[in-house]
Amino acid sequence: MTSGHLHSYEETQKACDIIEKLFGKDFFKKGVGIIKDSDPSGSGMGRHYTKNSTSRLLLAWYKAREELTYSAIQGFFRPGIYSAVIGALGKDLLKLGGIPGVETTAAGLLDDNCFDRTIFMLSIASGFKSITDQVFFPHEPKGYFSIGGGYDIHCISLDIPGSLRGNLHQQYVCQRIKEFITNKSNSGGKKILYYEITSSGYPLESAGRLTENNPTLLTEQGITAIILCKTEFPLSTGGVYKKISAYPVINKETSGFETTEGLNLYIP
């Protein structure tokens, strides 16, 4: 299963504005100054900026703004990866606007170590907002949110040491799930786990079958369903867009269903 949307100039511009409003123009003004001052050419344009003195969010926003500016010169807008990231993020934040706790959760975007996981969690929460208005964020950012019906939606991203990338041991996926659920406090609802394995280099279908072949992993941890996901940024003739592929694994014992059709689940 996949999802994807190519964001227009207007959507990308609106997304930049939403993110500016959320974190304040002073934050972006200061960051732009750092980026421009870093340019070794002295031109103040930040073309060769590579330092880590500003956040990934600010750099993505800055590059998306550049792509919008270039479009005025080119006469058409063809989004690159930064516009794809910011466009999708802005769309998610717009849909989640007004929900108590979303701003605290979104603050994870300012931490480079939490950037990917926060984007992933906001994307999943936005998907649930499309099928239910009952989306609740905790007062403290804990990597999960809740929906109506007593469900806790956990969102984690695969964190793999550099030496393991591209050569992932099959059991790592299952072990990571077990460690996360065991150590994560929640409100006691039924657990739905969205697990982003983008960085693993491990095929989505293989990871899904591995999880299916370990039924005790779901039952012992009380997980109703696991949705394994991979995020990609394909290039089309119209530009780059964000795509999420998903592989759901259902715990038949706790859910009472054979497939996702009986569950009120969002599948990207």
Structural domain includes residue 134: yes
pLDDT in tens, 108-166: 999 888 888 899 999 999 999 988 889 999 887 778 899 988 888 989 886 544 433 44
Q: Provide the pLDDT for residue 38.
A: 65
Structural domain includes residue 75: yes
- Residue 94 near residue 125, CB atoms below 8 Å: no
Beta strand 223-232 with 135-136 is unpaired
First to last CA, the chain: 7
Structural domain includes residue 137: yes
Q: Which residues of the chain have pLDDT under 70?
A: 1-3, 38-54, 158-174, 176-188, 200-201, 215-217, 219-221, 253-263
Kindly report the length of the chain: 268
Q: Provide the pLDDT for residue 2.
A: 41
Structural domain includes residue 6: yes
Structural domain includes residue 250: yes
- Domain range for residue 175? 2-262
Mean pLDDT of the chain: 80
Amino acid letter, residue 127: G
Structural domain includes residue 267: no
The tally of domains found in the chain comes to 1
Q: Determine the angle formed by the axes of helices 9-23 and 81-96, rounding to 10 degrees.
A: 60
Q: What is the rounded CA–CA span in Å between residue 223 and residue 191?
A: 5
Q: Provide the pLDDT for residue 190.
A: 81
Structural domain includes residue 11: yes
Structure tokens at 16: 């930049």
* Chain CA centroid to CA 93, Å: 12
Q: What is the rounded CA–CA span in Å between residue 4 and residue 81?
A: 13
Q: Provide the pLDDT for residue 249.
A: 85
Structural domain includes residue 268: no
- Residue 249 near residue 240, CB atoms below 8 Å: no
